[in-house]
Amino acid sequence: MAARNPGTDLDLMWVDSVRVNKPAVFKRANEIGTRRGVKKNYQVAWLLKAATCIDLTTLSGDDTITNVQRLCFKAKNPIRRDLLNAVQMQHRGLTVGAVCVYPSRVCDAVNALKQAGAPQIPVASVATGFPAGQTPFKTRLAEIQMAVSDGAKEIDIVINRAYALAGNWKGVYDEVRLFREACGEAHLKTILATGELGTLVNVYKASLVCMMAGADFIKTSTGKEAVNAILPVGLVMVRAIREYYHRTGFKVGFKPAGGIRTAKDSCVWLALMKEELGNDWLTPELFRFGASSLLLDIERQIYHNVTGRYAAANELAMG
């Protein structure tokens, strides 16, 4: 496993030097999105890889202990065992990357994963006033501390968009640095809410600042914005990750979230990671999907590959 990113001092000269060639970004994103296909013989392998990189998520106002338990049992067995046998996987302990819930549901998720016999699957918790991030700073900090004390191994925080939009990068850096300290051993994912940052230049700058502050992952969206994970934004963020790695030697993970619902989508994002960052980033340690419905379509496509037909709704239940 790669060493955690310890962060660096805030380098505003580096941040201010950022330039983004928007037409080139959209051209490259379009190339990846429209010209990258996975041949049938390899498709199942890519889909199984995608499944292991999912943060299986429920972030609804009506979340209950029951639906969190169902999510956790699905996290341990993301693909039906008979389908894994048919593609010669023999189970091999395949699980999703994490289970992601609200702070108030962390204990439920930790206990449910123990009951499912999968305590090794990390529980991720959104925090810091997700999704708006408009609660007082002390409250945001306390939310992290509570989630960690309840057993969360990963914390998904939202950055201060008001600071980012005002160009107050020191403010963003200082807050994220304190959030990282509050996480302790838990890994920190910083949500940029890219659909609210206005420009690709701001996306790149926010990515750099969060990595300088010690983020283990940078994440596109809360899933609650009007525009969530799109390829041009993803490309800008992974290019920032690449530059940060070349300058510091530390690998930071990437998590696209919001709007990724189909197996085809997952293969496109995997292609982006492979081509821009290389095979080292094709692991749950450095790449995650934030998704709730993606897994169902991945399992559906594997079912079709095995049987030659698509499953009825009752054949691929969540639980």
Q: List residues bridging with 154 in a β-sheet.
A: 124, 187
Give the model's pLDDT for residue 88.
79
Whether pLDDT at 241 is above 60: yes
Judge contact between 297 and 269, C-beta under 8 A: no
39 is catalytic: no
Whether pLDDT at 292 is above 90: no
Overall number of domains in the chain: 1
Give the model's pLDDT for residue 262.
94
- In 3D space, the residue among 68, 101, 104, 139 whose CA is nearest the CA of residue 290 turns out to be 101
Which of 210-224, 229-243, 304-318 has the weakest average pLDDT?
304-318
Q: What is the mean pLDDT of the chain?
A: 94
Q: Which residues lie below 8 Å from residue 10, measured CB to CB, with a gap of 6+?
A: 169, 170, 173, 209, 212, 213
Per-residue pLDDT tens digits for 166-207: 999 999 999 999 999 999 999 999 999 999 999 999 999 999
Give the model's pLDDT for residue 36.
61
Whether pLDDT at 209 is above 60: yes
Per-residue pLDDT tens digits for 29-57: 999 988 766 776 688 999 999 999 999 99
Residue 309 is encoded by which pair of tokens? 């037909």
From 189, 255, 264, 274, the catalytic residue: 255
Position 160 in a domain: yes
96 vs 308: CA distance, rounded Å: 25
Position 6 in a domain: no
Q: What are the helix and strand counts (H, E) for the chain? A: 13, 8
Position 19 in a domain: yes
Per-residue pLDDT tens digits for 116-128: 999 999 999 999 9
Query: SS3 for 98?
Result: strand
22 is catalytic: no
Q: What average pLDDT score do residues 235-241 get?
A: 98
From 74, 219, 264, 274, the catalytic residue: 219
**What single DSSP character describes residue 199?**
S
CATH of the domain at 259: 3.20.20.70
Give the model's pLDDT for residue 311.
87
Per-residue pLDDT tens digits for 80-116: 999 998 887 665 789 999 999 999 999 999 999 999 9
Position 203 in a domain: yes
Whether pLDDT at 140 is above 50: yes
Give the model's pLDDT for residue 24.
98
Give DSSP secondary structure letters for 60-91: -TT--HHHHHHHHHHHHS-S-HHHHHHTT---
The amino acid occupying position 174 is D
Position 1 in a domain: no
Position 114 in a domain: yes
Whether pLDDT at 319 is above 60: no
- In 3D space, the residue among 227, 152, 212 whose CA is nearest the CA of residue 183 turns out to be 152
Its domain, for residue 118, covers: 12-316
The amino acid occupying position 28 is R
Position 3 in a domain: no
Position 253 in a domain: yes
Give DSSP secondary structure letters for 120-153: TSPEEEEESSTTTT-S-HHHHHHHHHHHHHTT-S
